[in-house]
Amino acid sequence: MDKNNEAKNGENTKGVIKIILLGESGVGKTALINVYNGDPFCEYIPSNQQSLFIFKRININNNNYGIQVWDTAGQEKYRSVNKIFIKDSQIVIFVYDITDRRSFLELNFWTEYIEELLGKNITVGIAANKIDLFDTVQECVSKEEGQKYAEEQNAIFRQTSAKKDREGFENFVNTLINQFLTNNPDFKTDGISLSTKNSNIKKKGECCYFKKI
């Protein structure tokens, strides 16, 4: 994979890859998406109940792709994530907080929920988030435990931190995209041309800003 080379505005894309982050409220999903988009880390991000997404263009092996990364934005607190936002996702990233064991145990709910909606023909990642808190808060979920769970789910595992390791999460997303395209070499969306004009794109440099859907 080319290292996240952004495709030129308005160029035709081979396909649009939809990624959704799922997990308990407060595990850091929105912060991870913010830094993936190149924005500043925000210590406090208010929760709401509107699903939101950012959009990027990248070039992979000389092919242009649109990447949508969706955030459930607080809906998970009520187990009311609208199925329309999950539909047609190619990649799912389950996120838990390494200092909050409940968020790890609740992954069972989210993995079963997604399997029911999307089946097993998707690429799955598990992000053990907030590893920057190792030094200040006692670890509740070990790396080994997270890795074992990921193996059981046939998922790719990564420890992440929006605050201290922004490049790490970007590399993780790129790994998942590469895995998806390896498994689906004929993936494409015919006839799509994407432009920044009148599109739902997250604005770079604005802390905690998302396009509301």
The CATH number covering residue 165 comes to 3.40.50.300
**SS3 letters across the chain:** CCCCECCCCCCECCEEEEEEEECCCCCCHHHHHHHHCCCCCCCCCCCCCCCEEEEEEEEECCEEEEEEEEECCCHHHHCCCCHHHHCCCCEEEEEEECCCHHHHHCHHHHHHHHHHHHCCCCEEEEEEECHHHHHCCCCCCCHHHHHHHHHHCCCEEEECECCCEHHHHHHHHHHHHHHHHHHCCCCCCCCCECCCCCCCCCCCCCCCCCEEC
Domain assignment of residue 199, yes or no: no
Domain assignment of residue 212, yes or no: no
Residue 199: what pLDDT? 36
Domain assignment of residue 210, yes or no: no
* Residue 158 neighbours by CB under 8 Å, 6+ apart: 125, 126, 127, 128, 168, 169, 172, 175
Residue 4: what pLDDT? 45
Residue 77: what pLDDT? 61
Q: pLDDT band for position 117 (50/70/90)?
A: confident
Chain segment 121-168, per-residue pLDDT in tens:
899 999 999 998 876 776 789 999 999 999 999 999 999 998 888 889
Residue 119: what pLDDT? 83
Q: Mean pLDDT check: name the lowest of 6-15, 58-67, 153-162, 188-197.
A: 188-197
Domain assignment of residue 194, yes or no: no
Q: pLDDT band for position 82 (50/70/90)?
A: low
Closest CA to 20 of 90, 78, 108: 90
Task: State the average pLDDT for the chain.
Answer: 79
Domain assignment of residue 161, yes or no: yes
Chain segment 7-48, per-residue pLDDT in tens:
444 456 788 999 999 998 889 998 999 888 887 666 655 554
Domain assignment of residue 95, yes or no: yes
Total number of domains constituting the chain: 1
Domain assignment of residue 205, yes or no: no
Domain assignment of residue 120, yes or no: yes
Residue 198: what pLDDT? 31
Closest CA to 50 of 26, 23, 27, 70: 70
d(CA 12, CA 55): 15
Residue 132: what pLDDT? 87
Q: Mean pLDDT check: name the lowest of 57-71, 77-91, 186-200.
A: 186-200
Higher pLDDT: 109 or 192? It is 109
Query: What is the percent of the chain with per-residue pLDDT over 90, rounded to a whole number?
Result: 41
Domain that holds residue 66: 15-185
Higher pLDDT: 49 or 47? It is 47
